[in-house]
Amino acid sequence: MTTYYDTLFAYIARIMELPEHDKISCRETFHPLSVPRDTLLETAGKVPFYHNFIVSGYMRKYYINEKGEEVTNDLNDGPRFFTSYLHFINQTPSNEYLHCITDCQLLRISKPDADHTAETSFTQKDYTIRLFHQVQEEYRERIDDLASLTAEQRYLKFIHRSPNIVKHVPLKYIASYLGIKPESLSRIRRGIS
């Protein structure tokens, strides 16, 4: 389990260094969980109870549109936090599903534990604010890309930034995330090869 926490601390260290007090708190409040592939970790219509950190594995976040189609609005690449973030913070029902595409190793913290550690942690408030800004920036960039880049440009940018996702995640999820029909993405991939 030590490697779970080492992975978490290395991820957080990209933004700020955690003092030992906060590392101890993380070890007490983040609990390991192994999830088999093709598991729905959260479903729409429910309030997210956990904030998830992906140690290993691939997950997607999606919603069902008015046509009844799954629309992937987030895919993880490498260790990172992965939650219906605003719904978790505000404790409101989410319209999203969290799907473990592969076997996943997670660390999770419950909302009550997150609230408690926010009062005792030296760094959690600062980190949470920075994480929120990062999530918002990624969302804005994705919206801009969908509006301003061609399908091929979006795919090329995606494979440059997230080459591991292409190796481990079905193309239909990648196509959905990029706002491209699967058959169009297949044509783009053939053209690039």
Per-residue pLDDT tens digits for 55-96 = 999 999 999 999 999 999 999 877 999 999 889 989 999 999
What is the pLDDT at residue 184? 92
Q: What is the pLDDT of residues 13-54, one digit of tens each?
A: 888 888 898 899 999 999 999 999 999 999 999 999 999 999
CATH number for the domain harbouring residue 9: 2.60.120.10
Total number of domains in the chain: 1
Please report where in the chains the tokens 């969908």 appear, as a residue.
146
pLDDT higher than threshold 80 for residue 125: no
Question: Considering the domain boundaries, does residue 178 fall inside one?
Answer: yes
Residue 107 tokens read as 């660390």
Residue 98 domain-assigned (yes or no): yes
Whether the CA torsion 22, 25, 29, 35 is positive or negative: it is positive
Could you tell me if residue 29 is inside a domain?
yes
CB contact at 8 A, 46 and 92 = no
In a domain, 191, yes or no: no
DSSP secondary structure code for residue 58 in this structure = -
Mean pLDDT of the chain: 91
- For the chain, what percent of residues have pLDDT higher than 70? 99
Polymer length of the chain: 193
pLDDT value for 73: 93
Position 129 scores a pLDDT of 80
> Rounded to two decimals, what is the model's pTM?
0.89
Q: Is residue 159 part of a domain?
A: yes
Confidence band, pLDDT 50/70/90 cuts, at residue 1? low
Position 94 in a domain: yes
Interatomic CA distance for residues 188 and 157, integer angstroms? 13
What confidence score (pLDDT) does residue 15 get?
A: 84
For residue 193, being part of any structural domain is answered with no
pLDDT of residue 149: 94
Domain of residue 66, residue span: 2-185
Q: What are the phi and psi torsion angles at 47 (to 5°)?
A: -80, 125
Q: Is the pLDDT of residue 120 over 90?
A: no
34 in any annotated domain: yes
